[in-house]
Structure 1
Amino acid sequence: MKQIILLIVVLSFIHCAPKKTVGNPTNPKIKSIVENNKLNVVYRGIRNPLTIYVPNTDSIKVSGIGLHKIDNNEYYISPGQGLTMEITIVGYIKGQEIIDKREFRILDIQKPYASIHKYFGNVTLSKEKLASSKIKPHIPQFVLELPDVYSFEYQINNQKRLFNEGNTFNDVAKKQIYNLKKGDSVLIDNVKLVTDRPNVDRAKIIELKVYIE
């Protein structure tokens, strides 16, 4: 009876084939198949979700640099340096092993934009909406979740830049924003993101400029 390793990854949009399929030497009918429909890319600096399912096995073991288990069949890949990475999937069936190896290409994400409600670049908002907004990284048409904002700097009307920890404006910043007038501006720049791999080079996040309506 053929046993199947099913690998489903929500990552990118490129077809790929398994790098290697290994059958059990004592039973050639038992072999593993890795499926990864249209997806063989992981992105550096973010968590790439991964689901691994092996039907009718007693247990499985999955390993690879940057691979983290979340719960049961749920994993994520947080790749580091290099151009490729590999994971190994071992399924145990009545004392027999099914082994598969899978290679992914590692790509850098393009420069994210600092955004509010997915608006980026130069935007116009009321001071009330700006003060209550959450700053997020945004890449148009990018389907994976980007890390949260750890801190940013803001500059009101070309005045001195001020540091703000977190992804929302602190009380001091909110007070300043509520005192703004129509046509005043707030520049949001030097945005830092939470990352699993702080040693990985990160693209500078493009600034956001908000004009008060």
Structure 2
Amino acid sequence: MAGGKASARQKMINLMYLVFIAMMAMNMSKEVLSAFGLMEAKFADSNEATTDRNDKLLAALEIKSDENPKEFKIPAARAQEVKIASDKFYKYVESLKSDLVKAGQYKLDEQGKLPFEAMDKTDILDEAWFTGDRLTKKGQEVMDNINAYKKAINDILAKDESYRGRAQAFAKTFSTEAVPNKDGKKIDWLAYNYQGFPAIASYTKLTAMQNDIKVTESDMFSLFLGNIVSEATTLNNYKAIVLADKSAFFAGEKFQGRVVIGKYANVAPTKLTVQGNEVDLSKAIDSTGAATLDFNVGNVGEHQIEGKFTFIENGKELEIPIVNANYVVVPRPNSATISADKMNVVYRGVTNPMTISFAGVPDNKVSASGAGLSKGSGTGKYNMVPTTGKEVTINVTAKLDDGTPASDRKTFRIKDIPKPSGQMAGKTGQFSLPRNNVEIGKVEAVLEDFDFDLPLKVTSFKFKVPGSPSVTCQGNRLNSQAKSALRKAKRGSDVQIFDIKSSSNGPRIKPAAAIIIQLSN
């Protein structure tokens, strides 16, 4: 502005503008510095007032803990944990403020106030906490202490689900996540808040952090005191809840379960009526405030439990009805469930998988017996391998919850393994094949539409060519005599493979059905 081709007069005018702007900046800077000082003073006054209020809240919790330890001992102990963590961090922040004042050589005036307008240095914390884009050892110490305080408070708030709202507010207040600047670039939290700021601004921010500590302490003391007082002095928000030992009962059984006040209020009622009958409280109420019920469940079907608790609150009777309490009575089982997993009959000589159960009775209280029956692996799983006879009976017994036995039985038909079909080249019955395929082909026996995996091995068969006597072959392929007869057969003639005998690992197998092959060449 003062250079270039301007005249001497213009250069002087330009220089005067620069001096004027600098003077305005200096005046503005003092006003801003003074404003920060006023803010710091207000935060300091607030911290003193909050400290006094917090001491009274903590004292009230300690008194209630002595008077009613059952309700207030745990909240008072948690409040002490909060105070210890808060005092430690508060003192640490105070030491940071003292270091800043000492490094800047700032002196208190006659009224004990700092020289706010003189605290314009920006290099005190910059040199102590930052080095390039990283934190110094001292800067890292600051972050470590902040995080240690956050962890201590979060650990306390994590002990009770009802503190979740307070925990979320605390996390927001003491968030140290990176902050985007005006260009959208994320800046480290400590650098964003303290790097390049005048000393009075950083000093004020540290006092504001102390204020956050005191407010957190106050909110948590109120939380511990207020929540417990509400629970201990009012029951309007509680409901009587039935906790049945099981959801369904057999006809003739007694209902067994408990009626509790929500959240286990631990407040003794003066009267309890269930299904129109008054319950003896001296025998029914346990140490948790739950009432044990014992009455006949009635007939089969769904039933509603009706009744109410009666308490004394503020000198008046408060009735809490039992709501949403129902149970179902099912018929007492008199038959077992017995089913073959594969079919309605059992086959001789093979392992027939079965499932055997008794309605409403666990597997370990059910037993089954029968000729060829053995226990398998898995709940209710059995294996049946019938041998002789045309029928097999399975007997099942069960032990019910009340100790009484129940039994049932079922008879199954025993059938032999069905007759297999002869097969060559994957074909059965009557089909066409080239002469060479028959000569080198393998004769097989298969159980078609049979649900069991039972492989068969052909041991012998007979081979017949029209105009020639039948040839008996051992094994599952044509012998030399059969091949010679095959070569003499005319094109288009039918050759037969019959009396196909096979074996398996166990049961006797009937001869397979014959196959008729028309020679295609």
TM-score by length of 1: 0.55
What are the superposed Cα offsets for residues 82-112 of structure 1, whole Å, 9 maximum, x if unpaired? 3x21112345677955533210123456644
| Aligned partner letter, 1:192 | S
3-state SS of 1:78 partner = coil
Q: What is the aligned partner in structure 2 of residue 137 from structure 1? A: 446
User: 2:394 aligned with 1:87, yes or no?
Assistant: yes
Give 1:40-59 correspondences, 5 Å limit: 40-43=344-347, 45=348, 47=350, 49-54=352-357, 56-58=362-364
Tell me if the contact between 2:419 and 2:512 (Cα under 8 Å) persists in the aligned partners: yes
Distance in 2 of aligned mates of 1:90 and 1:40: 21
What are the superposed Cα offsets for residues 121-156 of structure 1, whole Å, 9 maximum, x if unpaired? 3322344488455612345xx443374324232426
Structure 2 unmatched ranges of 5 or more = 1-247, 251-330
3-state SS of 2:355 partner = strand
Instruction: Find 1:193's aligned residue among 503, 506, 513.
Output: 503
More strand by share: 1
| Aligned partner letter, 2:517 | V
Tell me if the contact between 1:47 and 1:77 (Cα under 8 Å) persists in the aligned partners: yes
| Aligned partner letter, 1:49 | N
Instruction: Find 1:63's aligned residue among 342, 364, 369.
Output: 369
Tell me if the contact between 1:155 and 1:186 (Cα under 8 Å) persists in the aligned partners: yes
Answer 1 or 2: higher relative contact order, Cα 8 Å, separation at least 6: 1
1:36: how far off? 3.9
Tell me if the contact between 2:350 and 2:507 (Cα under 8 Å) persists in the aligned partners: no
Distance in 1 of aligned mates of 2:365 and 2:432: 55
What are the superposed Cα offsets for residues 180-212 of structure 1, whole Å, 9 maximum, x if unpaired? 6565735242413326345xxx65432223344
Distance in 2 of aligned mates of 1:186 and 1:80: 35
| Aligned partner letter, 2:350 | R
Percent of matched pairs sharing the same residue? 14
| Aligned partner letter, 2:503 | L
Instruction: Find 1:115's aligned residue among 418, 423, 426.
Output: 423
Residues matched between the structures, number: 177
What are the superposed Cα offsets for residues 44-82 of structure 1, whole Å, 9 maximum, x if unpaired? x45363331437322654332233555431524434223
| Aligned partner letter, 2:471 | K
Q: What is the aligned partner in structure 2 of residue 21 from structure 1? A: none
Distance in 2 of aligned mates of 1:110 and 1:101: 27
Residues 123 and 155 of structure 1, relative CA distance in 2, 3 Å threshold: same
Instruction: Find 1:33's aligned residue among 336, 343, 355.
Output: 336
Distance in 2 of aligned mates of 1:105 and 1:203: 19
Residues 135 and 74 of structure 1, relative CA distance in 2, 3 Å threshold: farther
3-state SS of 1:87 partner = strand
Distance in 1 of aligned mates of 2:372 and 2:430: 37
3-state SS of 2:392 partner = strand
1:161: how far off? 0.8
Tell me if the contact between 2:464 and 2:470 (Cα under 8 Å) persists in the aligned partners: yes
Q: What is the aligned partner in structure 2 of residue 25 from structure 1? A: none
Residues 34 and 186 of structure 1, relative CA distance in 2, 3 Å threshold: same
3-state SS of 2:332 partner = strand
Tell me if the contact between 1:112 and 1:204 (Cα under 8 Å) persists in the aligned partners: yes
User: 2:382 aligned with 1:78, yes or no?
Assistant: no
Distance in 2 of aligned mates of 1:79 and 1:192: 20
Superposed CA RMSD: 4.6
Distance in 2 of aligned mates of 1:92 and 1:196: 37
1:173: how far off? 5.0
Distance in 2 of aligned mates of 1:133 and 1:69: 40
Structure 1 unmatched ranges of 5 or more = 4-27
More helix by share: 2
Q: What is the aligned partner in structure 1 of residue 472 from structure 2? A: 161
Tell me if the contact between 1:64 and 1:88 (Cα under 8 Å) persists in the aligned partners: yes
